A and B are shown apart, each in its own frame.
Chain A
Amino acid sequence: MNGAQAILESLKRENVDLVFGYPGGAVLDLYDAVYQARFPHILTRHEQGAVHAADGYARATGKVGVVFATSGPGATNLITGIATANMDSVPLVCFTGQVTNPLIGKDSFQEADIVGITTPITKHNYLVKRASELPRVIKEAFFIARTGRPGPVVIDIAKDVFTTVLDYEYPQKVKLRGYKGDFTGDEGQIRDVVEALGEAKRPVFFIGGGVTLSNQTEVMREIVKNTGIPVVSSLMGLGCIPAKQEGFLGMVGMHGSYAANMAVQKSDLLIGIGVRFDDRVTGKIDAFAPNAKIVHFEVDKAEINKNIFSHYPVIGDLRWSLPIFNEQLQGSGEDYLDRFAKWHKQVVDMDRECPFSYKTNDKVIMPQQLIDTVSGMVDENTIVVTDVGQHQMWAAQFFNSRNPRQFITSGGLGTMGYGLPAALGAKLGCPDKRVVLFTGDGSVMMNCQEMSTAADNNIDIKVVLLHNRVLGMVTQWQRMFYGKRYSQTLLGGKTDYVKLAQAMGMEACRIEKPQELEASLEKALNVKGPMLIDVMLPANEDVLPMVAPGAQLDNMVLGGAEA
């Protein structure tokens, strides 16, 4: 068995059923093995597409996404995707070809220092110079990628390793002295939280992507049901609690709901679970939850006290801590539902008074109306993927997310161009679910070549294009903070996205009038196969509410129907 075959054999042992990638000189031997083994592989049209697709696949399935790319430019094209996955803790293993051993360090053709370049944006990385190391390294890479706080791992492999024959034996166990992958902690910390809850009058759960990543949605839902404690969510936590459940206040932060932001500011015990208190959530950190003691359930010790001081840290995997927390709450003898009923009602009333809202008219389709309408047409077995910009925030605000792993978005890095390839990956990972992408006219262009991937592989995604002819999110800031000087944010409007999609081999249609919105959407969403729906929207809508950067959360510019 040679190195290339050993890689594919190891992937089988790791239950990898699909690889995303793009060939080239340094990985010719790997691709030859793919050919001979008929290993399932999707050829994207750009390496960035491959890594985002693997990321979408991983987020939708909970499995590790796998990528192949060649050396030099192939590998550097992965960077944005690796950084995206790293920020949102997505498990990936990326195999990159490197020049042959004797040529390393000589500025050889298509050589780039991938270990050096990816060190700050990976959980771990390797340069493999000897074939005999491959089985151990691959075993470790998958283990590291999926355990603890998940993340991307890069394995850079010298070209001659692929053709070197080795004695193949896949290790049963991982032996790493500095990483155990098992993160249980101190139950006393959980007891302290339960005790603190005994004193609290206005507790709030602030949930994030960690709950989804650790597959603890069911436990979380039970805790919420049994205690009646109001819940706010980060962008990454959407779907964990059904969006329409009473007491779920939606997204918190810069474009969070009025009730979510107010609840945090009024809270006396803010219980963060699998979150990292990002600046887009907290606004002015010194004025964030000013009356609250902070509880922080978190697997990554380095997150504790990084952005905010926590009075009650609970360090450990949520797989360990949340079930114990649940048990201790049930065993405490407290009637939390009763104790927090008044507070619960108070925030629910706030939410009713000031929900996310918008006004429609008979001239133009409103972006929020579009999301709302799509949301009403699809069942709960639908994965929503977004790009980055205003449309992303509207999708977060108005799409009725009902399940985890079904709202897929680039949160931490905010990567335009993420959506289309991620949607392909999500669909390939979950063929039985419907996949809808909400994208913008700016974002979709950044990886529009992947329409070709969708068409050639007949990957059934529906691309809903929120076509406002502007880089909307940037124009919003320019409107609010830069005297409406729209510097380099107005798109010319000459590009025909319908023809573009058709040229790539997809079906496409355009919707322009509010009167035709429902019927046309209904029709388009039910077409079999990949389809782009180009929806014309006004250019000057703002995403509201908005907390200006650096302002405190209760200092919101409101809006919507009341404004």
Chain B
Amino acid sequence: MKKYILAVLVDNKPGVLTHVSGLISRRAFNIESISAGYTEDEDVTRINIEVSVEDDRELEQVVNQLGKLIDVIKIVNLGLVDSIVRELVLLKVRATKGSLADIRNIVDIFRGNIVDVSPENVVIELTGSQSKINAICEMLEDFEIIEIARTGAIALSRGPIPIKNM
């Protein structure tokens, strides 16, 4: 299985997410994560889809089937161009007076932030590649991770050209 991040520009209209998610389930595509948000153009939403495929033919199917949706304006496979990939994670971790310093050390090494502290826990914010996020999760397991929220991967190509002009 190979993973790619597709950046999908769609019309910012009701029903779009139904169409995209309906297509994914109907065609039985393997989706690792999906996220959506506004863009520099108020009529356009950007959907980031992280997809796992067996081979190039399956990848071609995913792209072409998505491309058929009327509300899809543009699809670029950012896995195939030089791009920056990031994911945001929020972690709620058990913390006592005794363990707080150790936790802070780990967070510093990973260049994360502690964004909330209470007597029994901290909330950590971290952005990075998926492997970095996986690594911090592993490190913090000793302290008990109470809850995880991850956004899934988003990506942007390097250089001045936006995907709508690619």
Cβ–Cβ contact A302 & B15, under 8 A: no
Q: Provide the A117-138 mask, 1 if CB < 8 A to any CB of B, else 0.
A: 0011001111100000000000
Q: How far is the CA of A116 from the CA of B18 in the complex (A)?
A: 7
Number of A residues, CB within 8 Å of B: 21
Residues of B within 8 A of A306 (CB): 61
Interface residues on B, range: 20 to 34
Contacts between the two chains (Cβ within 8 Å), count: 51
Complex Cα gap A178–B19 (Å): 14
B18 touches A178 (CB 8 A): no
Give A121's nearest chain B residue, CB to CB: B26
Q: Check B71–A120 contact: CB distance below 8 A.
A: no
Give CA–CA (A126, B71) in the complex, Å: 11
**With known contacts A119-B22, A120-B26, A177-B73, A305–B15 Cβ distance under 8 A:** no
Of B19, B23, B61, the residue contacting A305 (CB under 8 A) is: B61
Instruction: Give bound CA distance, A301 to B23, whole Å.
Output: 16
- A475 → chain B closest CB, angstroms: 32
A177 pairs with B11, CB closer than 8 A:
yes
- Say yes or no: is B60 at the interface (Cβ < 8 Å to chain A): yes
Chain B residues 115 to 144 lying within 8 A of chain A, measured CB to CB, are: none
Knowing A119-B18, A120-B26 are in contact, say whether A305-B70 is a contact too (CB < 8 A): no
Contact with A along B32-74 (1 / 0, CB 8 A): 0000000000011000000000000100110011011111111
From A176, A301, A302, name the one whose CB has the most chain B CB atoms within 10 angstroms: A302
A170: interface (CB < 8 Å): no
B 1-41 binary contact with A (CB < 8 Å = 1; else 0):
00000000011001100110011011000000000000000
Question: B69–A178 contact, CB under 8 A?
Answer: yes
**Contact A302-B70, Cβ < 8 Å, known A127-B14, A178-B11:** no
Check if A115 is an interface residue, CB within 8 A of chain B: yes
Question: Other CB < 8 Å A-B pairs besides A115-B15, A177-B44, 20 of them?
Answer: A116-B18, A116-B22, A119-B19, A119-B23, A120-B22, A120-B23, A120-B25, A120-B26, A124-B19, A124-B69, A126-B15, A144-B70, A178-B11, A178-B71, A179-B70, A301-B67, A304-B64, A305-B61, A306-B61, A309-B57
Which 7 pairs of residues, A with B, have the shortest CB-CB distance? A302-B64, A119-B22, A178-B73, A120-B26, A124-B70, A177-B73, A179-B70
A-B contact pairs, 18 of them (CB 8 A): A116-B18, A116-B22, A119-B23, A120-B23, A120-B25, A120-B26, A127-B14, A127-B15, A144-B70, A177-B43, A177-B73, A178-B70, A179-B70, A301-B67, A302-B61, A305-B57, A305-B60, A305-B61
